[in-house]
Structure 1
Amino acid sequence: MGMADPLVRNDAVSTRKITFFVALAIFAQESAWNFYDNQVPVLLREQVASAGLVGLLMGMDNLLGIFVQPWIGNRSDNTRTRWGRRMPYLAVGMPLAAVVFVFLPWATSLAALVAVMFLYALLANTTRPLTESMVPDFIAPERRSRANAIVKIATSLTIIMASLISLLVVDEHPRAAFVIPSVILLLTTAVLIAKVRDNQSPAYQAALVEEETTAEAKVPFRQVLIELIRDPDRRRLLLLLSVLLFGGAWFASRSLITPYGMEALGLSRGDAGGLTLPSGVAYLLAAYPAALCAERFGRLRTMGAGMAIFAAALAAGTFVQSAAGTVVVFCVAAIGAAAFTINAVVALWNLAPSSRVLGTYTGLYAVTWYLGGFGGPALIGVVVDLTGWRGMLLDVAVLATLAVLVVVRLGRLQRRAAVASAAPANS
């Protein structure tokens, strides 16, 4: 017992350190991306008058993410260097993204601006899933929710960072303002290069051991997909389905709230757009407790309860047709959403068949979430066209309830799998 305590303490220190470095990297990447979302539309409006074209071009990064993130996740899974499998790409991709970012306000034509936007979106989509994949690379399954909660908090704080840069710098120095996120990216890259070598991660070492006992040195992306689809164990597919459905509900609730506030509550455009601001604070406060609940009560149970809270809150919001009531409803819904978003990707990592495909599964999660973000608002929008704005929150609640039912089914399969795995040990 005396020898175990220092080992436990060392493991805890190592977990805190890698969590800090991953959160720092995500903070740097997302600070640039949020500032991009804030200010690049203004650059586009200087070149084109069509709001539709501006929106289409701003959606290019999400479209690229659907193709790039699973590809780069799989490519990094199959990379072997003395720096590991994620860091070589981050050490090159993050500085390149920083340099490209600086050139955004200097593009003097639409063609040049779109070209720089495309290159930045490509680099940003390349680095983001690799940084997230270092959580399961380094951290044991039972502690991944805590680490992911810290990462999500860092992601949320970048909205404040981007807003501060816009508020304090952009009006006086519109081009120099783009340098600030770039410098943050460069400094963070230097810290990662100096402090992180993912060839020392437990998942990387496990992948090397596994390769010694298998005939194939690499796991192609196509093989990962085929194995996922054909596997009689449907837990991973059901989990991805729940991500798709809840992602659709979450993005629909956020992207349609302004017209809902205007049409159903009679608010001005500005007041309607501010309805979700307090819920962002509620999400931040709920993130880490959601991880602790998952460790105590189980991830699937926490996810299901969170989605049920989200759905119930929005359903109740249908009967509370006031601005104050809607703010409260969205705060409660955000707490429920945190229970799902903090734990869903962790559940998928823990269901991955091998440590050799953790990056690929990070990419698959991102793609499924993005597809939900694309399809959910469109689906709810069609329903609103048929039934009216006053029932929009209930429409979203129904979609979230479908996700709850999927997780309930997944929980049953998980319990069966646990019983089956315990049977040989007890016999």
Structure 2
Amino acid sequence: MKLDYRLTVLVGLGFMTVSAFWSLYDFVIPMIMLKAFGFGDTMAGVVMSLDNVLALFMLPLFGMLSDNTNTRIGRRMPYILGGTVMAVVSMLIIPYAVIANKQGLFIGALALALLSMSFYRSPAVALMPDVTPKPLRSKGNAVINLMGAVGGIMVLGMVALLAPDKDNINYWPLFLGTAFVMVVGVIILKLTVDEPGEVIRMRHNSAALGIDVKEAEHDDTLVTHEKLPKEYKKSLGFILLSVALWYMGYNAVTTAFSKYAMVSLDMKESQSASILMVASIAAIISFIPVGILSSQIGRKKMIIVGVVVLATVFATSAFYTGFNPMLFVSFALAGIAWAAINVNSLPMVLEMSKGANIGRYTGYYYTASMAAQVITPIVSGALLEHLGYHTLMPYGALFVGLAFLTMMRVRHGDSKPIIGTSRLEIFDVAD
């Protein structure tokens, strides 16, 4: 059985729009707070954690709501379309508020944009496993993450070309460009993907191969509240704890890197954006190979390799005292490592789900990641403000390193082999 790459790429357009927004948010919002409104690092950390506070409650909620939604256009599509419209309208108020120096309007528009993104993030991610059989979800997630990286790199490219200089606070071009990417991506998704039809096709293909046969039957036969066995619950808990830990480290670095580069390394915004763009390019190149390799050696092993490499990159990056070309190499390795982690972590969680509760388990995954991202901007921001910017990279290395210990306790979540119709088919991995 082979992954339908065309369908997966089109489904990935939803996640591409999500990643485009977050790339803009992570890079530009800290600079706006510093340059336009003079926020301190601790206060900026509090603001940057607002999206994660919302996500703690909203992502599981909308994941479960979409599980139980039944419309002519599908379970996930209404949330993707509605959330995108709300997000684009609200985010375009932000650059106006900055230029008009209206801090209250800036915070209000930002909160509305974050709420809108929470509305459709879980449904956008859940659409891939909805249309992809379980054994192929690491490969599918590789494609989805590749599409997310494409969205991120488009925005970082715009930042490198259009970012205002040190004293300029006109961010209109960046917000308009990002809004364009989001609108076009979702329109193409809606016009090319028949969600209900693709879900039915996936269930019948799975049944033909002896995978989740019950999911090929009618929706009303599916059980959405089955309890996991104790040993599976333990593995799920350690997976989610691992997710929280590596996001504690990774999010701290990516959120504060633009300020870190300017203050500690005396770099321009365009230079720091280029370094992050290299990390995204490296991730894009590695997503598909990582997905294929994961299906052969296992998801857990790939995650552990990624965790070790990412922690090492953050630890060694602490020794840079100014701009150094080796930063591009370090962050390229970080991009590859993050790909190895991201491609496999969500599929490990979803491996324990049923077709009817994919949205809920997607919500569990994002609850873990967002809980970490509620805490880490505040804690790391306080360290930056009170101890110095030299704490950022060791902080990232510490928490990513702790994830190594928790992942070693995970015993379930690797993909099960596909039952082929012949011995030769079992070895058909060259998609």
Coarse TM-score class (shorter-chain normalised): 0.7 to 0.9
**Is 1:95 the counterpart of 2:73 in the alignment?**
no
Whichever residue aligns with residue 347 of structure 2, its letter is: V
Distance 1:387 1:325, change over 3 A: farther
Whichever residue aligns with residue 332 of structure 2, its letter is: C
Would you say how many aligned residue pairs link Structure 1 and Structure 2?
394
Distance 1:211 1:302, change over 3 A: same
Aligned to 1:129: 122
SS state at 2:351 partner: helix
Whichever residue aligns with residue 212 of structure 1, its letter is: D
Whichever residue aligns with residue 98 of structure 1, its letter is: V
Aligned to 2:183: 186
Distance 1:207 1:92, change over 3 A: farther
Aligned to 2:372: 372
**Is 1:143 the counterpart of 2:136 in the alignment?**
yes
Superposed counterparts of 1:153-302, under 5 Å: 153-166=146-159, 167-168=161-162, 175=172, 178-200=175-197, 201-202=199-200, 209=217, 212-213=220-221, 219=224, 227=227, 233-255=233-255, 267-270=265-268, 273=272, 278-302=278-302
Q: Distance in 1 between matches of 2:316 and 2:35?
A: 43
Unaligned runs of 5+ in 2: 205-213, 417-431
Equivalent residues of 1:313, 1:329 under 8 A apart: yes
Q: Distance in 2 between matches of 1:165 and 1:338?
A: 22
Larger-Rg structure: 1
Distance 1:405 1:41, change over 3 A: closer
Deviates more, 1:107-116 or 1:391-400: 391-400
Distance 1:92 1:389, change over 3 A: closer
**Is 1:116 the counterpart of 2:109 in the alignment?**
yes
Normalised by the length of structure 1, the TM-score is 0.75
Whichever residue aligns with residue 96 of structure 1, its letter is: M
Unaligned runs of 5+ in 1: 1-7, 419-427
Per-residue CA deviations over 1:174-224 (Å, capped at 9, x if unaligned) read 65764443344333333333332322314788668475346x7xx5xxx68
Which of 14, 17, 29 in structure 1 is aligned with 2:6? 17
Deviates more, 1:23-32 or 1:307-316: 307-316
Q: Distance in 1 between matches of 2:89 and 2:113?
A: 9
Deviates more, 1:136-145 or 1:20-29: 20-29
Equivalent residues of 1:73, 1:129 under 8 A apart: yes
Deviates more, 1:95-104 or 1:296-305: 95-104
Per-residue CA deviations over 1:257-295 (Å, capped at 9, x if unaligned) read 6787799xx742549957655434333322222111101
Please, what is the CA RMSD of the aligned residues? 4.2
Calculate percent identity across the aligned residue pairs: 22
- State the Cα distance separating 1:69 from its structure 2 match: 1.0
Per-residue CA deviations over 1:337-370 (Å, capped at 9, x if unaligned) read 3211111011111122x11111121122122112
Aligned to 2:61: 71
Q: Distance in 1 between matches of 2:171 and 2:129?
A: 39
Normalised by the length of structure 2, the TM-score is 0.74
Equivalent residues of 2:14, 2:80 under 8 A apart: no
Per-residue CA deviations over 1:45-77 (Å, capped at 9, x if unaligned) read 797443455554444323222221111001101
- State the Cα distance separating 1:298 from its structure 2 match: 0.9
SS state at 1:85 partner: coil
Deviates more, 1:375-384 or 1:306-315: 375-384
**Could you say which structure has the higher helix fraction?**
1
